[in-house]
Structure 1
Amino acid sequence: MENKQLQKSLGAAAALSTVVGMVIGGGVFFKPQAVYTLTGGAPGLGMLMWVLAGIITIAAGLTAAEVSAAIPKTGGMMVYIEEIYGKKLGFLTGWMQSVLFFPATIAALAVMFGQQSAGLLGNESLSMPIALGIILLISVLNTLGSKTSGLIQTISTVGKLLPLILIMIFGFIKGQGNNPIVQPMVAEGISPMGVIGQLLVAILFAYDGWINVGALAGEMKDPGKDLPKAIVGGLSLVMAVYVVINLAYLWVLPADQLAQYSSPASAVAEQLFGPMGGKFITVGILISVFGALNGYLLTGPRIVYTLGEQKNLPAALGKLSKNGVPTNATFTMAILSCLYALSGQFNLLTDLAVFAVWAFYTLTFIGVIKLRKDQPNLHRPYKVPLYPIVPIIAIAAGVFVVVNQLFLSGITNTMIALGGLVITLIGLPVYSYMNKNKEEAKKAA
């Protein structure tokens, strides 16, 4: 949305509910499996990390919002980084989002959608066809215009809130509550320090979406006062929901059992409401995942489209269809997402996405400090509170996530991180080649 269309109508309450809606997605239903697998089936450290990841997310949201408010241009993080560090790094951000973050996230959600749908239908062999089919279906829906996307988002919001509310209420009413919650921290033979980084990466996926919060600044009546309230309030509420839902899971099933289910929420629902009730909750979860997929397939292609329009990617990607939709960019992202989905690995894909995007989030956090030095007179309708403490917390967390994945989390995670790094860095020769073509086209003209 361009700024000229934005009306300054959002108060703190409306912004807060928008924050909650943007962040709660599919991760809260599926990530407990990865969390309790990493802790060896022990609950303590997992529960602690849901809180720590929430605090990190609040620091990240408060920090990045200063850049968003100071650079109120369409394009998100790609535009912020270009403004702070220059065109090459700006392109690399857009490239990473276009070929790695968005496709890997879409693929991960589609894989989970396929697995859960196949489970409901009682035919596991349908998992991959459904995963690929749902990506293509939502891509087609997104080429029909924005009204369709808006309707999907409304329905999916109800879809995600219903399972959460029902599990939270009935988990505590009907659950036994005799499973361990805070002890042991990890199972015997597992080093807490050895798995903290992997736990953070797993859980941060469930908190992702906060980067879009700063974009609300242009629509707020008083961003300086209300944006921090919306970020702290909204993300604290998300953290509370995540902690309470995980408590409700543990109230019903012990952590070592939750580690065995790809959808712990569905397993808990079946325990609470019986097989039919469990299926009903799974349908709600599927609607939520459908909405999250729609959100990513709506926003991701806009970045591909912008890069095409700038002729930093093939110009065909920067063209709109008759109804004003970036159809070429949408189907390009869909094809990439399908290729990632063929791996069938939800946790691997989310780890890849989180590692890649947090490297650039960290650059954004550093950018807040750099902008304050380079452009002290820049109009800042909102300033990060407790500067520079909050940005330093966000930067330290970002550096820890990146370094941990690259060097400290075992060979598998190192290989995932290096794969992400290589895919990102391929953007450099692409940028040089496309720039060379642009220069030659200018000379020819």
Structure 2
Amino acid sequence: MDTPSFKPSLGLLDATMIVAGSMIGSGIFIVSADITRNVGSAGWLIIVWLLTGLMTLIAAVSYGELSGMFPKAGGQYVYLKEAYNPLVGFLYGWSFFAIIQTGTIAAVGVAFAKFTAYLIPQVSDEITLFSIGALHISPAQILAIILIIFLTYINTRGIQSGKIIQTTFTLTKLLSLFGLIIFGFIALQPQIWHQNWSGNAWSLQHLNKDGSIQSYGLAAAMGAIAAAMVGSIFSSDAWNNVTFIAGEIKNPKRNIGLSLFLGTLLVTIVYVSTNFVYTGLLPMQAIASAENDRVAIAASHVIFGNIGTIIIAVMIMISTFGCNNGLILAGARVYYTMANDGLFFKKTAQLNKKAVPAFALWIQCLVACLLCLSGKYGDLLDMVSFVVVIFYVLTIIGIFILRKKMPNTERPYRAFGYPILPALYIIMGLAFCTLLIIYKPDYTIYGLIFALLGIPLYYLALATKSKS
């Protein structure tokens, strides 16, 4: 009997939809409120999204070179292992399994449930179904868990099932966002646009919910930009998920790099355009003080009236459903590759009859569900923003290392703008991380400590491997 192996069945459109679909979750509908409070003006709101888009695009076109060199499952884990050593690769894989991917799956699942509550109030996160000690479980958390289990099951049935959901839902939410942008510009309020884009449009300041303003000194201003970018970077993250499923993509040496560029460019255009719409419909004060930070609902109310709330709720349900499918589909391939290197549970290295890593999918599901129950997924995402960008920086430094280490390895695609653009990303990424250490130490230091816990786990895995 033949051993199941990955089947290349995803084309360029499917790969691009995985990039875009994994990026677009609930963030674009929410985080502009916090960004506005940190930067205080329309100009700087757009600059934050442009800076994030630039960083994402540079990283994506840089990863194209790595995906061409190593067109196999595992993506960033493989790149870090090859550029540095297995320990660095493992530290990424451990962080990815324990918080990065599973925490994002949990957060996106709960976002799905929270916006479902607009249509079905009985699943509100403000209702307590039961308590376990100090832990209070809401219907929203239960619905999030059901969603994660359902999508995990669908993805154990083969790559085709996940592919159909991903492409369908991503195309739907892209069309919905383009609709919001088009109708938003049609409904643009000239007085509000003029108010937001004249006078203090380029003033960097803290805008409180009550409308009061606090000025920044130079150092504090830099910290405010970094704090603001936590939200936009979270909203733009997971673009690299397509590299994890390289073994299932047709012509991966070409299509992975191209899908990274097309997907991140498309999402960047959508995100920046959406924020222009916000500034044309709502005063900056209204963006900063939107109820529960739901800026998109406030904007949609201006465009569509009372039905706008329902429209945005449905859009976010579609968006988060498709986003979580992409995250679940791609994440398990990292654990599969680690297990093949003897650095994860042995059973994770097995594919089922449908040629997918079912055990890896289910243990990922278990951790994500536990994070849903913890109620701490928001803190986890803030905590890990620092770690995520550090690993991106390390991976892009790896391009320089591999040019020296493996000069003769085939590179079907070379990093665009090398060495200037990759170096620019490294500088921007390190600046972002340094500012977070200074201005958000509670989150970043714990995130770093958690990632470094992987060091003893790595040597434990090696010891276990040598005994078997």
Q: TM-score range by the shorter chain?
A: 0.7 to 0.9
Structure 1 residues 161 and 284 mapped into 2: Cα distance closer, same or farther (>3 Å)? same
Does structure 2 conserve the Cα–Cα contact (< 8 Å) formed by 1:25 and 1:206?
yes
Q: 1:408 aligns with which of 438, 445, 457?
A: 438
Indicate the SS of the match to 1:66.
helix
Structure 2 residue ranges without an equivalent (≥5): 128-138, 208-212
Question: 1:247 and 2:272 equivalent?
Answer: no
Does residue 421 (structure 1) correspond to residue 434 (structure 2)? The answer is: no
Q: Distance in 2 between matches of 1:315 and 1:213?
A: 24
Residue identity matched to 1:399 = L
Determine if contact 2:17/2:170 at 8 Å carries over to the other structure. no
How far 1:364 sits from its partner (Å)? 0.8
After alignment, is 96-105 or 153-162 more displaced?
A: 153-162
Deviation at 1:136?
A: 2.3
SS of structure 2 residue aligned to 1:120 = coil
Q: How does 1:369-380 map to 2 (within 5 A)?
A: 369-380=400-411
**Root-mean-square deviation over aligned CA pairs:** 3.0
Distance 2:14 2:336 in 1: 30
1:325 matched residue in structure 2: 356
CA distance in 2, matches of 1:220, 1:14: 13
Larger mean CA deviation between 24-33 and 380-389 belongs to: 24-33
1:168 to 173, 176, 181: 181
Structure 2 distance, partners of 1:221, 1:426, is 33
Aligned counterparts of 1:14 and 1:315: Cα–Cα separation in 2: 30
Q: For structure 1, which runs of at least 5 residues remain unmatched after alignment? A: none
Q: Which one-letter code corresponds to 2:425 in the other structure?
A: A
| Most deviating of 362-371 and 349-358 | 349-358
Q: After superposition, give the CA deviation of every residue in 1:381-426 in whole Å (9 maximum; x if it has no partner).
A: 1222332111111111221222222x222xxx32222222222112
- Retained in 1: the 8 A contact 2:222–2:435? no
- Is residue 2:370 matched to residue 1:339? yes
Q: Does 1:46 align with 2:45?
A: yes
* Shift of residue 8, structure 1, vs aligned partner: 11
Of residues 182-191 and 283-292 in structure 1, the stretch that sits farther from structure 2 once superposed is 182-191
1: CA distance between counterparts of 2:321 and 2:415?
Answer: 34
Q: Are the structure 2 counterparts of residues 230 and 128 from structure 1 closer, same or farther at C-alpha, using a change threshold of 3 Å?
A: closer
Q: Does 2:410 match 1:389? A: no
Task: Give the aligned partner of residue 59 of structure 1.
Answer: 58
State the distance in 1 between where 2:10 and 2:183 align: 40
Q: Give the number of equivalent residue pairs.
A: 431
**Percent identical residues:** 32
**In structure 1, C-alpha distance between the alignment counterparts of 2:425 and 2:326, rounded to whole Å:** 25
Aligned residue type for 2:214: G
How far the C-alpha of 1:363 sits from its partner, in A, is 0.8
Map 1:71-220 → 2, pairs under 5 A: 71-123=70-122, 124=124, 125=127, 126-179=139-192, 180-181=196-197, 182-186=201-205, 187=207, 188-191=213-216, 192-212=221-241, 219=250
Instruction: Output the CA distance in 1 between the equivalents of 2:294 and 2:171.
Output: 19
TM-score (norm 2): 0.82
Determine the C-alpha separation between the residues in 2 that align with 1:380 and 1:321. Answer: 32
Q: Is the 8 A contact 1:270 1:279 kept in 2?
A: no
Which residues of 2 match residues 204-353 of structure 1 at below 5 A?
204-212=233-241, 219=250, 223=254, 234-259=263-288, 260=290, 261-344=292-375, 347-353=378-384
Does residue 373 of structure 2 align to residue 360 of structure 1?
no
Report the TM-score, using the length of structure 1 for normalisation. Answer: 0.86
CA distance in 2, matches of 1:17, 1:145: 17
Once the two structures are superposed, residues 266-319 of structure 1 have per-residue CA deviations (whole angstroms, 9 ceiling, x without a partner) of 332233212334313321221111010011111112222333343322223333
Change (3 A) 1:165 1:387: closer
Instruction: Determine if contact 1:141/1:148 at 8 Å carries over to the other structure.
Output: yes
